[in-house]
Each structure stands twice: as structure tokens, then as C-alpha cells.
Structure 1
């Protein structure tokens, strides 16, 4: 065997053989919940990071995470990690990171995403260009032609993360492939988003933090476009986020282009994901109230599109007039903390009235409220038991838990 051939097979073994190392990118504040979810789906060596969770699994397990994990934005499969102290070292490391003849022949397009920075590699566009050059330079040498860049619909999506090496000794790069190529928070059911939508994965994570299991009523008196309630219903009804809203076929993935893709294993995991929705358990009432008629219609359309229209009861009305189902139960809500209803005075009155309504009608219930403005939350005149830091679209928020007495 020639030395180049031996080196090529060694690269392929590193990137394809044995347990796979991966990272799930998560909404800030959901790292612990994300770690618990990945563990429940069979991931091993799970380690909580900042805005992410590292893990190890096999190829079948990776497919399972791609189809069933509700909380990540992205699930990345690590190809290589290497020392990196500048553009030249990055170029050489990427060139030797994998068997690119297998991963990226010239007939396939690709995209490079970058996170983090290092001295000399401070701008993501410049850094992505170095990765691109390393790959196409090698292609030209081997094939006399090169892959095209496709930012919208690539065959392979590469992700490079730059940071300091453990112990602060120099820089480090981690090169990964993205199993989907787009954010996993997009479930495919939400054509209408309302005025201040939560991302679907954040909503699902917030519901997970409440511990709601479908056995008691769930209500949102300020439901907006319905994301919290819809994601709650999808969780309990076993509607896998990696399948289309009808639950029939997997949503578009890039992992089918990977050189070690196993169609039979993928089919098994797709079937398992489809089976989660068979014989769903009975659910206690899930109810939502929205004062804006147009937003309410969006919420109803979203619930139908998600396949849970028969399980989520959405009505028009003011939160001050909310009448809870027979309880006790769980109330979740994401009240406005910006300009949706007007000025600060209007919002403070809304929070004050919400607090009065809850104390008058919802004794014995639990309340989970997403707060992006502590002064407004103070108008509730209620004392929270838990305050979980959460980032919602870059806004520093708290997921507040109250026991209503």
C-alpha cells in the first residue's frame, strides 16, 4: 500500500470509525435541560458547555438525536480538532482534517460556518475563506476542479469553532459537519409567527423545565401565536421534531451526503421516530387565550399545521377574563415586555391585572412566566420560587416559577 493511500485511510478512520464526538448547540439557559434530553436519547459522555452540550454516540445514535432532540439549534459531528495559531496553521490543519476525497468530491457544494475567534482569525468571513481555500486548493491539486459554494442549499455544511486550548495554551480549532445544514428550531409547522414569537426549541425547553407531563391542565392566558402550547402538545403526543408536521417523512437533512451514511440505520430511526406518535396518551386540557383576533387565527393555523389542532383549545379574549379549567394545573406565558401593547404604563397595568386575576382564580396552580423586564414583573405582586436565566433572542430573561396561593 502506498503512503498516500495509507494516510487517506487513516484520515477516514479518524472521522468515521468508533464512537462519534459531537456538540449540540442550545439556547443559552437550556444547557442542563439539553444535557438531560441527550442523555435520555442515548448519548454518552455528556458534558455541559456554554450554550452547548458535548457528547459521544454512534452513527445510529446520531440519527436518533437528529430526529428526536427538541432543544438544539444544531447537532454537529466532530471531524477533527487541532492546534490553531493563525491562518497558515488553520489552512494546513483543515487540509489534513479528513479524507476530503470521500467527504467533499468536486461535484458537491459546501458552506462554511464559523464561531469564535483567535488572534489573526478575528473575522468570521476571513476565517471561513481560509477553510474554503484549504479545501478547494486540495481539490484542484487532486482533481483539477473544485466544489462550488452554496450558502443556501449546500451538500455539505462545515462548522469551525475557534477558541483557546484547555489551560489557555494557544489556540484550538474544532471542525465539524452539520447534520441538517439549517437551524433545527424550524419544525416546519409555523407559517405564521405573531408579533413576538418564541423559537420552537426554546419554547420546548421552557415547557421541559416546568415538568408538565400532560396529566394536569396547561394554560396560557397570553398565548400569542401559540408556540408554548403547541410545543407542549407535540412533546406529549410524541410528534418528533425531525419529521415533517404530518409525522410521515424526515425533514430535509444533509447527513445523507456523508460518506458513511447507512440508509438501513437511518430508516430504522425514522421508523422509531414515527412510532412515537402511535397510541398517544390522553392529555388534560390545553387552553390558550389571545385578545388579538388576527394573532389568534395565526395560532389556530399553527396548531393545525403542527398536527395538534384537536388537542389545543384556543379562544379569543382578554387575559383579565381568563377562566382556568378545573385545576390544579400549570400556567405558562410570555407576556409582552416591549412595545407590543403600547407604553410602559399600559404594560405595568397589564402585569398588575394579570397578578390579580391569577390570585383570584388560579389558586393551587403553578405559574411559569418568561420575564424580560423585572420592573414589570414586580407589578404582579407575587414572589417567585425559581428564577432560571434564559436568553430569548438576545434579551436577558428569567423563566420565573410561582406557586399561586
Structure 2
């Protein structure tokens, strides 16, 4: 059993120091000090008002300690006494067995329980979101966790006293944490990422990042005479550090993980892979795949007819994140197996080559073909989106069970009813700045093409493919974008405000039509299915005209979202007289044919 702490690392939020300006207060050594002049903003952030001392090859500046501040040895002793009274730090510092480490798996807020359930699975070990284990446990977590963003290995935790400028406290804390020259070999690179929330004397994540980086550089320069270099642009550092300051508790981790490796090109509106996997887990897709696998064995032993196999549908699939993650679950493919390089392979103090090779071999052996008939179907109206989806499907090696279709959602005819529907429909915030079709097509052009339309194992439409369509339309689209850029009104003008108001009205109409079409599709094609729809705009979901069974709060990309769960009842075929009835007032033209059926399902 490991230490269980369900919760993701929180995002930074500015705090306000508790000490009023000029107030008489206790000095750092316990005595009283005379009232002082109001501190400048720079001093409160940890930057001294005294002349700066150049920091040689490490920091660009180093503030002098104030004459009334305690010595470094006294500050360390005070910090150690405070740490002895902190139960969490003492629990972390309990003597572990040789080779054991503390880990923390981060996630999107709202998916902590999903990550904890994955950690409890047999592929990783029995633990929680914050867990303890040997390096092999960390390796398996990196390979198998689907819903976690990253896996962190704890270096040290300490407390910030708040008795000195924040920059000086952070600098000294980082220098005292460990022997950085022993962790970072000559020629290796490092980076720092930081989060700050609710600290008494520290409110800037940037200050934590800069002073932490200065401390590491100065510590190594003092030992070797030269500072470590930053990573090259676009490359992950050999030792990425992730530090958080939460309620004056500073935690410093080494980041073991990274993004999925099958993405060939990332669209700005694409859903994060870990968020998509967590939503699929909440939909029960992984359990459905296991049941179908068990049913395959039962069907081989008996001649009785079996129920229809499980199918997942996404009528607005975009670049296909849900479809690919669903296929990886169905084939028991470790999501980390696509990465070609991991930072922890450069950590000479903890990397176990044999344990890593065994974990990779186990992950490769666990992959299998999907259960018979288990498939993932996707549709989208944007050809560029399907081009990106097909490239990623092929890179992930799941083209055998993913089907893609090009067309309007309302006109998509399914061969049979799906068991689960999961989708991330447009809700007006992911593609601001340019049209959705233009955005998808531009990203498909930037990242290369490939694909097709229609409904098949890859996807087709009369022998033509998406790449050919894009090549035909690339030049006119670029010309149209250039024309709009030239015709754009000056910022702040009345003409611009009118244009923004017109664009907002047009966007609202497009969203209303999209959700109206989705509602008609659900009732016509998905009767009896469970539907899970992600949205960050409550106004957009009104066009669905359905009442959600449950609303799961999630935070994706910094946006407060809801995962809406519906049980689709379907609609009985309407009589001829009802079918001829006019559409509801204000209904979009695409939904007019299904107006009578839609009215039944309200």
C-alpha cells in the first residue's frame, strides 16, 4: 500500500501577504523591530532595493541580504524546526526501503479518481494518485497511465518561512535541497516549471521559476566553474524539474513523463489525450471492451447467437482523439509505448536499465487484437480535421478498427446502433480568431495531408481522398485569408466592434445549428446508447433539447467544463401526417426534416 492522496497539482493563483505595510512586527529572531517604510513591490517579490551583485555564470543578479535578516545557518535551523512540525513532510521523509521513491501523477481537475483507479490496476500496482514504489513502479506508471498528464518523482519537500523576501527564500531553499552537481552531469540540460498557490510571501510562479533556476545554476557553477546549458528549442531537457509552492510548502519533483507519441500534427482545438482517455474511462468503454473480450471466448465455446459487439461513435470527431484512445484501450496498448525518448533514462543516480527494459517488454507483450466487432466510428464535416485524424490513426497502428466518415452529422447513417457515444462538440471557445473549417484545413496543410472521406476501414469516397481535396483548395483558401487580413478594420474602431458583434451572432447561430443536428442524430441513430458530451458553454448545450442524467465537472485547458451524460431513448417513427408537419419556429434548415421527431424527445 502506498500513500494515497487524491488530487492534482493546482494551478497558480496570486496571493496577498499577511503583513501590513509599516506595521510593528516581530523580527526574524523574535525581537521587535521599529516601523519601516512601506516596502516597494520589487522588495515584496524578493528583489532587494540595494545595488545588484552580478551572479557570474548563474543568476544575472543576486540581491544582497538585509542587515536585519538572520544568517543562512539560522534560517536553515528555523526551517528544519518548522518541517518537524509538518505532518505531511514528516510522512514523506519516513525511511523508505532501499530503491523506493515517492511519486505523484498529475491530472486534469475532475479526473483524479480515474487516475487513482488506473493506479490500482494490476499493470502498475496498488497505490493512489500520490504513490510510493520502486523505480520499476514509476516506469510502469509512465507506460500505462492513460488519464494522467505526467508522473513526477519527488526530490524533496521543505517549508518557506515567509520571514524574508520571497526570492531569497526560494533561492536558499533550492540550494539546500540536494547536491545538484551530483544529479546533473556535465553537458546535461535542465528546465524548471513552477506553480504557486496560497503562499503567505510568494505570489509569482515566474519568481519561483527564475530564482529556482538561478540557485541550480549557481550551485553547479560553484562546484565546476561553469553553469549547465538550457535545452535546445523544441527539445525536452535531460532533467525537467516541476516545483510547486502550496500554502508555503515547497515541493520539488523531477518530471519523468511527456505527451503521447502518436501525434503527427496537433490542432489547436484538439482535446488533450489524457483528458480524452479519462472521459472514456468515465463512460465505461474500458469495461465494455473487457466484456466483449470475455464474450469472444464464450462464443467460441457455444453456438448460441451473441449480442451485437460494442461500437463507440463520435459524430463530431475532429482530429480523432476519442477514437484513437478508445482503440488503444480496446487493444490494451500502453499509451507510453509510442514515446521514443524519456528524460529519466538520463538520470544516472536512479535509472535502472534492466527494470526499464522489462517494463517495455511487458507492455509490448500485453498488446492484442481488439475483440471481434469492437470498433470506433467517427464523423466530421471538416476535411482537414479528418486528414489529421487519419494520419494519427495510422501512426497509432489502429486503422484496423477505426472508421472515419466525412459529412454533416445530421446525414450520417450508421450500419448499426453504437453502444457508447462520446464527443466534444464545438462550444465556441476553442477556435476563436478564425473559422473552424479554415483552422482545421490550415493545420492539415501545415502538418501534411493524407486521408479520405466516406465510411471504411481507413476512409474513402469514390476513390478520392482528403489530401487531394486539400491540394485542390489550398491556394484559394490562402488567397481568401490574405484578402480578409487586408480588409480587417483598425483595432478599436466602430467598424471593428460591429464586425465582432456580427461574428458573435454568426457563431451563436452555427453552434445552435450544430447542437440541433447532434440532437436529431442522437434520437434517430443512437436509441438505447449512453452519450457523453463535453462542453464548456452552457448556452450551446441548450440546442440539444435533452436533460442530462449527470453532470461531471472537469477543467480542460483552464476552462471550467461539464461532461454531460445522457441516456438516449430514441424516437418512434412518426405517422405520415406528423412527418409532414412544419418544422419548429426558428429551427435550423438542416434539422427541419427531423422536427417532428425532435419535438417528441423534448
Q: TM > 0.5 between the two?
A: yes
| Residue of structure 2 in register with 1:267 after alignment | 357
CA distance in 2, matches of 1:17, 1:103: 18
Q: 1:316-335 alignment to 2 at 5 Å? A: 316-327=406-417, 329-335=419-425
Taking the aligned partners of 1:160 and 1:394, their CA distance within structure 2 comes to 19
- What is the CA distance between 1:69 and its match in structure 2? 0.9
Partner in structure 1 of residue 279 of structure 2: 206
Alignment RMSD, CA only? 2.4
Of residues 73-82 and 234-243 in structure 1, the stretch that sits farther from structure 2 once superposed is 234-243
Aligned counterpart, 2:525: 361
Q: CA shift at 1:226, angstroms?
A: 1.0
Shift of 1:293: 2.3
Distance across 2 between alignment mates of 1:26 and 1:77:
15
Residue 87 of structure 1: SS of its match in structure 2?
helix
2:147 paired residue among 59, 64, 71: 71
Normalising by structure 1, report the TM-score.
0.85
Offset, 1:102: 2.5
Q: Is the 8 A contact 1:288 1:313 kept in 2?
A: yes
Which runs of 5 or more residues in structure 2 are unaligned? Answer: 1-93, 293-309, 438-505, 570-602
Comparing 112-121 with 196-205, greater Cα deviation is found at: 112-121
Are the equivalent residues in 1 in contact too, given 2:555–2:561 (CA < 8 A)? Answer: yes
Change (3 A) 1:328 1:254: closer
Other structure's SS at 2:544 match: coil
Q: Would you say 1:103 and 2:183 are equivalent positions?
A: yes
Q: Are residues 133 and 295 of structure 1, via their aligned partners in 2, closer, same or farther at CA, if it must alter by over 3 Å?
A: closer
Higher strand share: 1
Separation of aligned partners in 2, 1:192 and 1:231:
16
Match for residue 82 of structure 1 among 141, 158, 162:
158
Q: In 2 relative to 1, CA 161–279 (structure 1 residues): closer, same or farther, beyond 3 Å?
A: same
- Structure 2 CA distance for aligned equivalents of residues 251 and 145 of structure 1: 30
Superposition pairs for residues 126-145 of structure 1, below 5 Å? 126-145=207-226
| From 33, 57, 60, the counterpart of 2:133 | 57
Q: Distance in 1 between matches of 2:126 and 2:251?
A: 19
Alpha-carbon displacement from aligned partner over 1:31-87 (angstroms, at most 9, x marks no partner) = 1111111221435552xxxxxx32222111001011111112221100110111333
Q: C-alpha distance in 2, partners of 1:124/1:35?
A: 27
Pairing partner for 2:390 from 280, 283, 300: 300
SS of corresponding position for 1:91: helix
Q: Deviations over 1:276-306 (max 9, x none)?
A: 2145433423211112223222222221111
Give the secondary structure class of the aligned counterpart of 2:226: coil
Confirm whether residue 219 of structure 1 aligns to residue 301 of structure 2: no
- Counterpart position of 2:552: 388
- Unmatched tracts of structure 1, length 5 or more: 1-12, 47-52, 165-170, 245-249
Residue 331 of structure 1: CA displacement?
Answer: 1.1
Matched, 1:178 2:255: yes
Provide the rounded CA distance (Å) in 1 between the counterparts of 2:236 and 2:382. 37
Q: Where does residue 340 of structure 2 map in the other structure?
A: 251
**Cα offsets for 1:348-392 (capped at 9, x unmatched):** 122123212321332111111112222221221211111111223
* SS of equivalent to 1:390: strand
Give the alignment partner of residue 240 of structure 1, picking from 311, 329, 334.
334
Higher RCO (Cα < 8 Å, 6 or more apart): 1
Match of 2:77 in 1: none
